[in-house]
Chains A and B, each alone.
Chain A
Amino acid sequence: MDVIQQLREQAKKLLEEKKVDMVIGFGEGTELARTTPVFITNPEEVSALTWGPLCANNLVKYLLDYQNLPGNIAVVVKGCDSRAINRLVTDNQINRDKVVVLGVPCPGQLDWRVVAAAADPAAKLKGFSDDGESFTIKTDAGDYRFDKKESMLPRCLVCENPNPVVSDITIGKEQPVRNYKERFADVIALEQLGTEEKSAYWDKQFSRCLRCYACRNVCPVCTCRTCVFDQMQPMWVSKRNNLSENTAFHLIRAFHVAGRCIDCGECDRVCPVDIPLRNLNQKIQKDLKDLFNAPTPGSEAGLASPLGEFATGDPEEFM
Chain B
Amino acid sequence: MTERVHLRLLDFETEQIWPWVKPIPHGDAWHTWGKQTSMIGSWYHQGSFAIAQADASLFWLERDRSRLVRLADGLLGLAKLGNLRSAVAKVELLDPIGALAPRAISGERRPDRWLDRRHEPRPHAGPYVMVMIGSSLTALSDRIGNYSLGRRLELELQRELGTRDRLRLDLFQRSVQAGGLVRRVDELERFLASGPAVDVILIELHELEPELDQPEHAEIQLARLRELADQHDALVAIFDDTALASIGRDGLRASSPAMLELLELARDQGFWLIEPSDQLLRELINDSPWGNQPWASGQIHGAPWAIDRTAELLANLLAPRLREFLPGRVPARHRERGRQ
Q: Do A and B come from one complex?
A: no
